[in-house]
Amino acid sequence: MRKVVPLKLANDADLRATIESFRLTQQRVSEIAFEHGCPLSAVELHQLSYATVKGPLRSQLTCTAIRTVSSEYSRARKRNRRIYGPIHFSKPRALFLIGKAKRDACPPRKETIRVWTVAGRKDIPCSIPARFKAELKNVKSYDTLAVSIKKGRLVATLSVTLSDPKREGTLPAGIAVGSKNEVAVVNSEGKSLRVITVAQNVMEETSRKTKKRLERRLAARKADGLETRSVRRVLKRLGRRRHMRTRTFCHAAANRLVEWVGKGSILVMEDLRTPPPSRRNRRRSSTPRPHFYEVLRRRVEEKAKDAAIPVYYVNVTGNERRCSLCGAAGSISKHTFHCDSCGSESPMSKNAALNIRNKFTVTRPWAAVNQP
């Protein structure tokens, strides 16, 4: 598990000089990469530019600078951005690799961190904020130290790899994903938690209307031969906001439900995992809108990993139309499940979550459950 931890660094003139020199190296390499015209791989760029830019920095840092430039260019290419001039590296930011031998920085000690600057090796006073100290107890390795200058101050972050905590649990809790931005979880005692955003449904409806209106206006302007840039821009912005809305909700819901079930539980989800899109399809849609289930699933996986809770998947079909008490088919109206046989009524998502949990409980002894 990788984690980024902030680090408070004392001001240091040599470190500042190093960062500035790193930026200048990047800028020079960027010019070389642009002058060359055709896209270069990281290795080709290295061979082409290393001799020109070596000198002010340690060789390892120079290599890192070249690599960051190369990745910046390939990112622009991936996003189909046209490059008119060399990419500017105006933000002073340097990346130090941490390791034992011949690296740019050492793992932080109690009050200092050793960094190789333009003036040689230096121990710079530093401190890690108290709330991150507990996490750093099970560090597997320190990877990089990124230092940038923001508003005249040194801002540093430390990337670390943490050893994964063992994921254990006994009591299953089912998670059901509703279609209308609703998530329900039922624990082994039958208690349930539902995360709903009514406002979100309303917002979705509103933005759908806005989108339609804008599309009409776009078509009209196109027909009249007027410029369409402003309308297209508003449409794009709207699309981005809608895109983020799903993610915002899924993250909040996953955070809440993982916290709610607590340690010793097992999270059970419906298995709707689909294979990733083929390379060709991925290219065709530059920004695919993530599926609600998939976004939530990923977040639940992430949070469960942090909380050391295992996640299992079960195959259930038509679970939302089955009564969780008697197993007969029922009907759904206005997000409420109604059973015709036993007359029970419950929120649709709660009923589905119960079915998922029950399915796990029943199939557990056999190998019908997919482990993550």
Residue that the structure tokens 């932080």 belong to: 108
Q: How far is the CB of 329 from Zn ion (least distance, A)?
A: 9
Q: Are 22 and 62 in contact (CB under 8 A)?
A: no
Q: How far is the CB of 342 from Zn ion (least distance, A)?
A: 3
Spatial neighbors of 38 by CB under 8 A, at least 6 apart, are none
Q: Looking at beta carbons only, is 125 or 327 nearer to Zn ion? A: 327
- Category of 151 on φ-ψ map: left (φ > 0), alpha (ψ -120 to 50) or beta: left
Please name every residue paired with 98 in a beta bridge, in sequence order, or none if there are none: 105
Q: Identify how many contiguous H helices and E strands the chain contains and give both numbers.
A: 9, 14
Q: How far is the CB of 340 from Zn ion (least distance, A)?
A: 8
Q: Are 176 and 350 in contact (CB under 8 A)?
A: yes
Q: How far is the CB of 192 from Zn ion (least distance, A)?
A: 17
Q: Are 19 and 94 in contact (CB under 8 A)?
A: yes
Q: How far is the CB of 345 from Zn ion (least distance, A)?
A: 9
Q: What are phi and psi of 154, to 5 degrees?
A: -80, 125
Q: CB atoms < 10 A from the CB of 288, how many?
A: 11
Q: How far is the CB of 328 from Zn ion (least distance, A)?
A: 5
Q: Looking at beta carbons only, is 25 or 324 nearer to Zn ion? A: 324
Q: Looking at beta carbons only, is 21 or 358 nearer to Zn ion? A: 358
Report CA-CA distances (Å) from 247 to 179, 235, 253.
15, 19, 10
Q: How far is the CB of 346 from Zn ion (least distance, A)?
A: 10
Q: Looking at beta carbons only, is 117 or 346 nearer to Zn ion? A: 346
Q: Looking at beta carbons only, is 69 or 176 nearer to Zn ion? A: 176
Query: Using CB under 5 A as the criterion, which residues of the chain lie in contact with Zn ion when the complex forms?
Result: 323, 325-326, 339, 341-342, 344
Closest CA to 62 of 89, 87, 26: 26
Q: Looking at beta carbons only, is 226 or 342 nearer to Zn ion? A: 342
Q: How far is the CB of 231 from Zn ion (least distance, A)?
A: 52
Q: Are 159 and 107 in contact (CB under 8 A)?
A: no
- Per the structure block, which two tokens stand in for 159? 């990337």
Q: Looking at beta carbons only, is 103 or 357 nearer to Zn ion? A: 357
- Burial label for 353, CB within 10 Å (0-12, 13-18, 19+), is buried
Q: Looking at beta carbons only, is 303 or 322 nearer to Zn ion? A: 322
Q: Give CA–CA dist 291/246, Å, rounded.
A: 9
